[in-house]
Amino acid sequence: MEGHLNLTLKIWRQKNANVAGKFETYQVSGISTDMSFLEMIDVLNNRLIEVGDDPVAFDHDCREGICGMCSMYINGRPHGPNRGVTTCQLHMRSFQDGETITVEPWRASAFPVIKDLVVNRSAFDRIIAAGGFVSVNTGNAQDANNLPIPKDDADEAFAAAACIGCGACVAACKNASAMLFTSAKISQLALLPQGKVEAAKRAEAMVAQMDEEGFGACSNTGACEAECPKGISLENIARMNREYFSATFSSK
Amino acid sequence: MTKLDAKIPEGSLAEKWTKYQSSVPLVNPANKRSLEIVIVGSGLAGASAAASLAELGYKVKVFCFQDSPRRAHSIAAQGGINAAKNYQNDGDSVYRLFYDTIKGGDYRAREANVHRLAEVSGNIIDQCVAQGVPFAREYGGLLSNRSFGGTQVQRTFYAAGQTGQQLLLGAYSALQRQVGMGNVKMYTRHEMLDVVTIDGKARGIIARDSVTGALERHFGHAVLLCTGGYGNVFYLSTNAMGSNVTAAWKANKKGAFFANPCYTQIHPTCIPVSGDHQSKLTLMSESLRNDGRIWVPKKENDNRKANEIPEDERDYYLERRYPAFGNLVPRDIASRAAKERCDAGYGVGASKMAVYLDYAAAIIRYGKGEANKHNMHNPSDEEIQAMGKAVVKEKYGNLFDMYKQITGEDPYEVPMRIYPAVHYTMGGLWVDYNLMTTIPGLYALGEANFSDHGANRLGASALMQGLADGYFVIPYTIGNYLASEIRTPAMSTDSEPFVTAEKEVRDRLETLMNIKGSKPVDYFHKRLGKIMWDECGMARSAEGLKASIKEIQALQKEFWSDVKIPGEIDNLNPELEKAGRVADFLELGELMCIDALDRNESCGGHFRTEYQTEDGEALRDDENYAYVAAWENKGNGKFELHKEELKYENIKIAQRSYK
Ligand SMILES: Cc1cc2nc3c(=O)[nH]c(=O)nc-3n(C[C@H](O)[C@H](O)[C@H](O)COP(=O)(O)OP(=O)(O)OC[C@H]3O[C@@H](n4cnc5c(N)ncnc54)[C@H](O)[C@@H]3O)c2cc1C
Ligand code: SF4
Ligand code: FES
């Protein structure tokens, strides 16, 4: 049932990458519990515009948990308090009347702040460009059913492929490691016969790019898995390590 | 009015494309390296085109407004992609896919394009599997299929309820591979704000870097717009927040005709509006109609809970009205039927503007099936429920979760409440068989063009079309144009047309910033959306459309004198971006009404209340309206209509029946 909330928001404001940011406090009232978190920010923004202030910049697009664009660090957790949801799918019924909510951008040196809550995640694109593909040109393919794939392998590959590239795993990690993201792609392709051929080379190239981007090392605390909105499993990291070590052994 | 030449190749329908492919002029590899192509959009159409053209050796630049090409709106497609593989041995064929698509489009699509689409559909699946797209599979390891609306075969390939995501990530990986190899230069967080034409040919674009606000000029021997659909003209739709018409609209202003703008698809199964705060609507995939049954109470204004209404007091109105296709009638028909029931007072939920989509029967059916598979002879009801729910979860889990997230209700226990919402736009830039617009060198691919879906698109056909255009059509058809451009050197962007285009873009941005009115952009967008939904949505009438045109014109004036845009022009400024898009929607909305008013018939998604059969079905007028309406923008809100006559040489045009 719909209810209404009055909330205090502490939001990170930063004009651009070159200046220091700070928290600002705002009050919002009459927030419907049926609203999504982003719709609540819309309400705040329209009020800010009316009084002549600069609205809070944030990334978003699909608003249904699939594009991976939304990225708010809410009360100390990427995508907020609920498990398995993105910020855009978080609804205000998960909050209490009178609550103070703190909202920050993803924090990681490889994800520099652009403005307010917007960060630059292009490092992820470069990791994929380094090897997150099967080297097949358009027109090279054989008939799709010539390559039967055991259902369990296909399902496992799909589970890894469900990563939306949001970066919550990096934001959750005290080392700002990108292992969960990188390993999900490496796993997906290593599990499938089409991707197996280049598996070792791929792992080596993607890990090298990941390091070059300045992401931290993995210390197996599992915070990434706990905060990942798509349930990407730590097993992917183990699989990536296997591929990676087989690559580094064979290339030596 | 000019006659539009669609440049359809000679020959019998089934041979046109093959013949075209073997006779189209080629560009040799050395020449390709000096030919530059600008691609705007990185969705299925843009990413697949960019990867394929770069593989061929062209120099490619790609633009998107999101922070990564992987976030294009295609990512959100749920249900699946069609292909005439006939893996199920259930009678499918290229011809049948072609036929279903033409019929589904209510005989308003171009035969030759649709046949080509059906021909290449199988290659798409092959290509995607080769890239590592994890489609759903059967235990034997082969690909699984399901059915979608408007067909009686199972030809839809899928990856749970995330087919668009998996296909786009496949195309994105192919694109990133070319980025890594240096063949594609990617510009993210860039918005294209104009097409530059030189001597009548498209030669580049003006783009704004959203982070710095800087305007940039980019040259291309050809420009491809793969910028998606314009459903957000209605404010509320299932499209992503950023989906917009700006690129196509700027092209229209520069001379590219806009075809069939009024053909809008209202999708029958979306989560109903819950309040004024709502910023977008969420689709519940059509694949749910495979297994779910749609009903309303037989009693008017029935306030009982769904589970308290006995079976014989439920009206499965689609099964009743359309016994042959039942819950799988095409979208336009299912949407109108839902509206009809709700308008008549049989709607459900607090707003009464919803119908039920019920999984109870499917859960039992699947549960019993599982019991059989596991040799359980007397399963208890609980066991059947548990096993049935597990199967439903595997097929549709993410959709059910999404429903629960948004509504707070559990669809495994109570039927979902659904209502039609704006979803897709069949209209778009007019293109010929080569996918070229009326501006030489300017192409439109994917949802941005008008070409394949007539007046109504069948489910799982947009993904097919986007990838067909990008992987398998444009790599051939662009050669037809570029073969004659090999002597054109890359042009300097200091030339007068680039300078002028940039100045016009800058002036407009400054004008917007300087209005300093009193209302935020959303205020205008919502008002436009309401006009469009009420008068140019599921039911249209001449009277309503005429009034709307006046209202929209007044709203345009109000917008340009009272919009308030905060922030700076040379910084990240989402409100400024939105303002530009809404300004274009305001003009497009007017054209949509003009087009809807011109079309004195009902067809597919375009339903004019004056033109219906006795039992409320769309009544076409093939004698007078079997044409594509292509609109030329004459400036100052003036448009001239050009017609492309549609000829049906292979299909007998008939009243569409799904009964
Ligand atoms: C919720 C939902 C579910 C769907 N499910 C299905 C389904 O199951 N099966 C099916 O076949 N179809 C489905 N569709 C339809 C289908 O997803 C789309 O029609 C299709 O993905 C469009 O692809 P596209 O490449 O043409 O455009 P998009 O994917 O929309 O890409 C547009 C691109 O253009 C860029 N762009 C736009 N304007 C500019 C500009 N001015 N400057 C720079 N860049 C710009 C964007 O950044 C983006 O990269 C669904 C649609 C929705 C909304
Ligand atoms: S692994 Fe999870 S948290 Fe990390 S980017 Fe992918 S979806 Fe986001
Ligand atoms: S806005 Fe797309 S995942 Fe949140």
Question: Which atom of ligand 2 has the smallest separation from the CA of A181?
Answer: 1
Pairing of strands B442-444, B222-225: parallel
Contact A165, B68 (CB under 8 A): yes
Of A31, A25, A167, the closest CA to residue A105 belongs to A167
> Which chain B residues are closer than 8 Å to A148 by Cβ?
140-142
Give the relative orientation of helices B111-131 and B94-104 as an angle to the nearest 10 degrees: 120
Residue range A4-115 forms a domain whose CATH class is: alpha beta
B279-308 residues touching A, CB cutoff 8 A:
279-280, 282
State the distance from the centre of ligand 1 to the C-alpha of B228, rounded, in angstroms: 5
Arithmetic mean of pLDDT, A134-163: 96
State the distance from the centre of ligand 2 to the C-alpha of B284, rounded, in angstroms: 24
B349 shares contact with chain A (CB less than 8 Å): no
Q: Which of A60, A150, A157 sits opposite B134 (nearest CB)?
A: A157
Tell me which chain B residue has its CA closest to the CA of residue A51: B518
Arithmetic mean of pLDDT, A57-66: 97
Best mutation target among A14, A40, A48, A61 (most B Cβ atoms within 10 Å) is A61
Task: Quick: pLDDT tens for B572-604.
Answer: 999 999 999 999 999 999 999 999 999 999 999
The CB of A240 under 6 Å from ligand 2? The reply is: no
CA distance A68 to A75: 20
Contact A155, B144 (CB under 8 A): no
B130 shares contact with chain A (CB less than 8 Å): yes
Q: Using the predicted structure, report yes or no on whether residue A158 has a pLDDT greater than 80.
A: yes
Confidence of residue A251 (pLDDT cuts 50, 70, 90): low
Closest residue by Cα to atom 3, ligand 3, is: A65
Contact B83, B125 (CB under 8 A): yes
Which ipTM did the prediction report? 0.97
Contact B275, A32 (CB under 8 A): yes
A29, two tokens: 């009232």
CB under 8 Å to B352, separation ≥6 — which residues?
Answer: B301, B342, B345
> Which chain B residues are closer than 8 Å to A201 by Cβ?
none
Least confident range from A106-110, A222-226, B164-168, B284-288: namely B284-288
B331 is catalytic: yes
Question: Which atom of ligand 1 has the smallest separation from the CA of B470?
Answer: 25
Task: Quick: pLDDT tens for B130-149.
Answer: 999 999 999 999 999 988 88
According to CATH, the topology of domain B16-22+31-265+423-482 is FAD/NAD(P)-binding domain (3.50.50)
The full set of domain ranges for chain B reads 16-22+31-265+423-482, 269-420, 495-645
The CB of B77 under 6 Å from ligand 1? The reply is: yes
State the nearest Cα–Cα gap between A174 and chain B, in angstroms: 24
Check the CA dihedral A231-A236-A238-A244 and report its sign. negative
The CB of A111 under 6 Å from ligand 2? The reply is: no
Task: Quick: pLDDT tens for B82-131.
Answer: 999 999 999 999 999 999 999 999 999 999 999 999 999 999 999 999 99
The CB of A179 under 6 Å from ligand 2? The reply is: no
Q: Which of B141, B402, B520 sits opposite A149 (nearest CB)?
A: B141
> In Å, what is the CA distance from B306 to each residue of B356, B413, B477?
8, 10, 54
B140-179 residues touching A, CB cutoff 8 A:
140-143, 159-160, 162, 165-166, 169, 172-174, 176-177, 179
The full set of domain ranges for chain A reads 4-115, 121-250
Q: Is B331 exposed, middle or buried (0-12, 13-18, 19+ CB in 10 A)?
A: buried
How many other CB atoms are there within 10 angstroms of residue B308's CB atom? 9
Closest residue by Cα to atom 2, ligand 2, is: A228
> Which chain A residues are closer than 8 Å to B522 by Cβ?
42, 46
According to CATH, the topology of domain B269-420 is Flavocytochrome C3; Chain A, domain 1 (3.90.700)
Q: Using the predicted structure, report yes or no on whether residue A252 has a pLDDT greater than 50.
A: no
pLDDT of residue B659: 83
Contact A202, A165 (CB under 8 A): no
pLDDT of residue A1: 53
Report DSSP letters for B617-653, one per residue: -B---HHHH-EEEEEEEEETTEEEEEEEE---SSS--
Alpha helices in B208-276 (DSSP H): 246-253
Q: Do B173 and A132 touch (CB under 8 A)?
A: yes
Quote the percentage of chain A above a pLDDT of 70: 98
State the nearest Cα–Cα gap between A202 and chain B, in angstroms: 12
Arithmetic mean of pLDDT, B268-296: 91
Given ligand 2 and candidates A227, A230, A239, which is best to mutate, with the most ligand atoms within 8 Å of its CB?
A: A230
Arithmetic mean of pLDDT, A121-125: 98
Average pLDDT score over chain B: 96
CB under 8 Å to B418, separation ≥6 — which residues?
Answer: B268, B269, B270, B271, B272, B284, B294, B338, B354, B355, B356, B357
Question: Which atom of ligand 2 has the smallest separation from the CA of A170?
Answer: 4
Active-site annotation holder among B331, B336, B457, B581: B331
Q: Do A66 and B140 touch (CB under 8 A)?
A: no
The CB of B156 under 6 Å from ligand 1? The reply is: no
CATH number for domain B495-645, candidates 1.20.58.100, 1.10.3720.10, 1.20.1740.10, 1.20.1260.10: 1.20.58.100
Arithmetic mean of pLDDT, B433-456: 97
Check the CA dihedral B127-B132-B133-B136 and report its sign. positive
> Which chain A residues are closer than 8 Å to B162 by Cβ?
66, 162
Q: Which helix (H) or strand (E) holds A104?
A: strand A100-104
State the nearest Cα–Cα gap between A111 and chain B, in angstroms: 12
Question: Which atom of ligand 3 has the smallest separation from the CA of A70?
Answer: 4
Pairing of strands B59-63, B184-187: parallel
Backbone angles phi, psi at A161, to 5 degrees: -75, -10
Task: Quick: pLDDT tens for B357-407.
Answer: 999 999 999 999 999 999 999 999 999 999 999 999 988 888 898 899 889
B361 shares contact with chain A (CB less than 8 Å): no
Least confident range from A29-38, A42-51, A104-113, B396-405: namely B396-405
Q: What is this structure's pTM?
A: 0.97
Contact B112, B8 (CB under 8 A): yes
Of B396, B394, B389, B419, the closest CA to residue B407 belongs to B419
Q: Using the predicted structure, report yes or no on whether residue A5 has a pLDDT greater than 50.
A: yes
Report DSSP letters for B577-589, one per residue: HHHHHHHHHHHHH
Tell me which chain B residue has its CA closest to the CA of residue A40: B277
* 3-state secondary structure labels for all residues of B143-157: ECCECCCCCCCCCEE
According to CATH, the topology of domain A121-250 is Fumarate Reductase Iron-sulfur Protein; Chain B, domain 2 (1.10.1060)
Q: Using the predicted structure, report yes or no on whether residue B2 has a pLDDT greater than 80.
A: no
Q: Which helix (H) or strand (E) holds B284?
A: none
CA distance B229 to B465: 13
Token pair 């707070």: residue? B408
Q: Do B134 and A120 touch (CB under 8 A)?
A: no
Quote the percentage of chain B above a pLDDT of 70: 100
CA distance A42 to B54: 40
